[in-house]
Structures are given as structure tokens and as C-alpha cells.
Amino acid sequence: MPSLTRGAYTASIAASPDELAEAQALRGLCFGRSTPDCDIFDDICQHVLIREIRSGTLVCCYRLLLLDSGGEVERSYSAQYYGLSGLSAFQGRMAEMGRFCIHPDWTDPDILRVAWGAMTRLVDEAGVELLFGCSSFAGTETEAYLDAFAMLKARHLAPKRWLPRVKAPEIFRYAARLRRTPDAKTAMRKMPPLLRTYLVMGGWVSDHAVVDRQMNTLHVFTGLEIGAIPPARKKLLRAVAG
């Protein structure tokens, strides 16, 4: 992907070990670690970097793992935590987006916009038909997020044929346990920004959240079938992607 410049920000693929190390350092900062965040998946992924042009500051990053079909889904990071046998039947190309983070000192909404513009360009260039990953809520306590989880149960559960199965040792079965009508405003306020973006494009989620104490998060498997994105939303994304 050639670099993508929009407004004050530019997006590009990490092209050196030093740039990958920058991304790992930003991830460590965002995830509350005292050291850079890295794992075995870094070596098989592309790493997208979003910088503020004037200062060169790395303000956002994420990584992307391209898969030729659902038959390769067990190679993904998400497969450590979710039973993805249903998705193994998916025939099209897939991409897993992971480790998405925005520098805590930078709150400009254009950063997320440029990040999704770069993602759109990559998805289009690779012919990806399904984008997926883990969307994380901060912390491991569920109480603050009950309206958000109730909203996910009511409106956004995965189609049965793709529904991830339980695999992780510690989970919150929100779809089975919650019996509440969500307060829509509270629910959307508590949704992570990345997950909100998935949902407005027609994304869906697992029926349970994984309690990940190592990362200090609760996360849900999130999928987005590219063909299901509303045409108006596609037009906006492609306008940014150029």
C-alpha cells in the first residue's frame, strides 16, 4: 500500500525493524505495559502506522494478517481464544486486524478516520471479503459495560453459521446471562471506538466475552463481511482511502 495522506496525518506500512519497534512501543504504552508489546504474530503481519505529519509522531497503529480463506483461520491470533470452526468454511479472502491502538495523548477523531481509510485501501487491494479481530473493553470487570453487552446481545450477535464457540478458560457469557433492556446512550458511550465503527458498518460479535487478564481487557470476537457494509458507508470510506 502506498502511503495515504489525509489532512494532518499519513498512513503507511512499517518497512523496517525500527518502525516495527516504534509500533510495539506505542502498543506497550497504550496497553499499560512497562515494556514494548510484542508477540509471535508480529512476524507474519503487516503493520500500519499513522503519523502526525508535522512532528512525525506515531499516533496510531494496528497490524493486519491476510488469509486466503477460512481454511487458514486457525493461524490467527483470535483462534487462541475462540473456537472458529464455523468460519473455516468461509470461501473468500479474510484479514485479521489486531493490536489497534491510538496514542493516549492524541484525541483527534481524524486519526481513526485515516486508520479506517488505510484499512479500506488494504482490504480493496487484497480482495478481502471478511475482516475480523478482537474488540477490547478496558479492564476485566463487566459491571460498567452491562448496557453495552446487552446492546450487543439485542442487535449485533453473529449469524449462527459463523458464531464463535467457547475456547478460552475465563469468559463472560453475556448473551446467556443478561436479561436487561439496554440504555442506548449508555451502551454506545461504553463501546470501544473500534467496536462502534465495526457495528455501524454492519459488524457482528461473539455471544461471549473473553476475560484476558494478561492484557487487562474484556474482548469480543468481531466480524465484518465487506459485502454487507451499507453503500453510503462504503462511499465514505473509499473517499478517505482515495
Q: Compute the Cα dihedral for 219, 221, 226, 227 and give only its sign.
A: negative
Residue 38 has pLDDT above 80, yes or no: yes
* DSSP sequence for 40-96: GGGGGSEEEEEEETTT--EEEEEEEEEESSGGGGGGSSGGGTEE-TGGGG--SEEEE
pLDDT digits (tens, 9 = 90+) for 50-80: 999 999 999 999 999 999 999 999 999 999 9
Counting the structural domains of the chain, the total is 1
Find the domain containing 80 and state its range.
4-241
pLDDT digits (tens, 9 = 90+) for 176-222: 999 999 999 999 999 998 999 999 999 999 999 999 999 999 999 99
* DSSP sequence for 206-220: -SSEEEETTTTEEEE
Contact of 46 with 64, CB cutoff 8 Å: yes
- For range 124-143, the mean pLDDT: 96
Residue 209 CB partners (closer than 8 Å, separation 6+):
137, 142, 149, 171, 172, 174, 218, 219, 220
Residue 224 has pLDDT above 80, yes or no: yes
- For range 98-127, the mean pLDDT: 94
Q: Could you give the CA distance from residue 123 to residue 208 in angstroms, rounded to a whole number?
A: 27
pLDDT of residue 139: 95
Residue 139 sits in a domain whose CATH number is 3.40.630.30
pLDDT band at 1; cut points 50, 70, 90:
low
